[in-house]
Amino acid sequence: MATEPVFASIGQGDVDFLGRDPVPARPYYDPAWYELERKAIFLRNWIEIGHVCELPQPGSFIRRELEFAGASLLIVHGKDGVIRAFHNVCTHRGTQLTQEAEGRTSTFSCPYHRWSFGLDGALLSAPDFESFGLAKADCALSRIRLEQCAGLLFVNLSDDAPPLRDWLNGLAEELETLPVAQATTFSEYVYDINANWKLTYDNFQENYHLRFIHPKTGQATFSPDNPYGYPVRYRFFGPHRTQTIWSNPEPRITPLQRIAMGKAMASALQRGIAGGPNGREYLALFPNFFILGTPAPHFSHVVYPLGPTRSRGVIRLYWVGDDANASERFAREYVMATARDVHAEDRAVIEAGQRGLSSGALKHIHFQTQEALCRHLFVSVQEAVHQYCDEHGEQP
């Protein structure tokens, strides 16, 4: 006897609390609304910027550019083992200390007047410093709040925001069970796209489009029991959200994929899929980060806003253990290339959507049940903007 498809267990009634009305199109292109988002959301929430595996030893550092804040950051592994974040700005006259994307050093020296700073941000020396009439302790690098969870690094530009674990609203423990917490390396590619950050992000939190945009590459989520690859369940944690992605009971795993995942991880993947449709959990952290918790590898995606209709995405596959041999290295690159190919199928349609919205042709857009996470993001953004406006006497 035929069984009812599992995806039917998610009905409109399960997400009615989010509302059912069309939502305004303006927030997807309007410069004034974007400016409110920038101040209300990106300058006040925890933003994911990297992983501890990038800073393996004292003196390791990475530089991160946050265009939405006009800020350049230095993330530094100190001699005491603590990872800290500073503005990449000399406290003398504001010159950026380094243009290197990453490296290892014992000090940071300003190229302009050679003020030198330690890994803890303290001013160590400055030519003719006695002429300033200052105390070195008052000239340390400007520090930024940095906290970590599951090996992931988050920064917050607000001193008033809650601690990271409180902000995660119950998801910290779930994140820490994922292999990304033990990751030692990663594959990455970065892309710029002519689309609003929400429009870009929304594409990756709904499966409604899979059968149209990814008819071949979406086979991993298609099966007779779930022909459209719809998720099994949604969960909501304040502004954060999760979905359980359907896993094909009979996946097509290529030999290269098996090599890339390694024997142990391939076995875990097989067990997860054989156990039912709960093999992949998608965790979305407000505002702009998600991680797809496959047994191997872990896929993360963060979308940074560059303007009202431009954004930048950083996609990573996290691995546990270095490449064991040339075959595994090739296999991991193959898996990364495959992910990039799938993403390439999305790019043009996202930008086409942005052009349509930016034309002003639509006053509203529509979300249905399978786009509940898109609606939840919109609702969360709207609530944050309205709260900010209430606090500052501005109009949304």
* Domains, the chain, ordered by start: 1-46+169-396 (3.90.380.10), 50-160 (2.102.10.10)
Per-residue tokens: 19: 């509302």
Rounded-to-integer distance, Cα 122 and Cα 29, Å: 42
Inter-residue contact 6 to 232 (CB < 8 Å): yes
Q: What percent of the chain lies above the pLDDT cut of 70?
A: 85
Angle CA 233–236–240, to nearest 5: 120
Cα end-to-end distance, the chain, whole Å: 55
Per-residue tokens: 201: 């992000």
pLDDT in the model for residue 396: 86
pLDDT in the model for residue 45: 98
pLDDT in the model for residue 386: 97
Inter-residue contact 356 to 350 (CB < 8 Å): no
Q: pLDDT band at residue 284, thresholds of 50, 70 and 90?
A: very high
pLDDT in the model for residue 119: 98
Inter-residue contact 284 to 205 (CB < 8 Å): yes
DSSP structural state of residue 39: I
pLDDT in the model for residue 252: 59
- Buried/exposed 110-145: b ≥16 CB within 10 Å, e otherwise: beeeebbbbbbbebeebeeeeeeeeeeeebebeebb
Q: pLDDT band at residue 89, thresholds of 50, 70 and 90?
A: very high
Rounded-to-integer distance, Cα 286 and Cα 290, Å: 9
Per-residue tokens: 123: 């001013």
**β-bridge pairing 310-319 and 23-24:** unpaired
Asked if the model's pLDDT at residue 373 lies above 60, the reply is yes
Q: What is the pLDDT of residues 56-82, one digit of tens each?
A: 999 999 999 999 999 999 999 999 999
Q: Which of 141-145, 202-206, 256-260 has the lowest mean pLDDT?
A: 256-260
pLDDT in the model for residue 372: 93
pLDDT in the model for residue 270: 44
Once rounded to an integer, what is the mean pLDDT over residues 366-389?
A: 96
DSSP structural state of residue 13: G
Once rounded to an integer, what is the mean pLDDT over residues 77-97?
A: 98
Per-residue tokens: 301: 């995606």
Closest CA to 289 of 197, 183, 191: 197
Inter-residue contact 116 to 136 (CB < 8 Å): no
DSSP structural state of residue 246: P
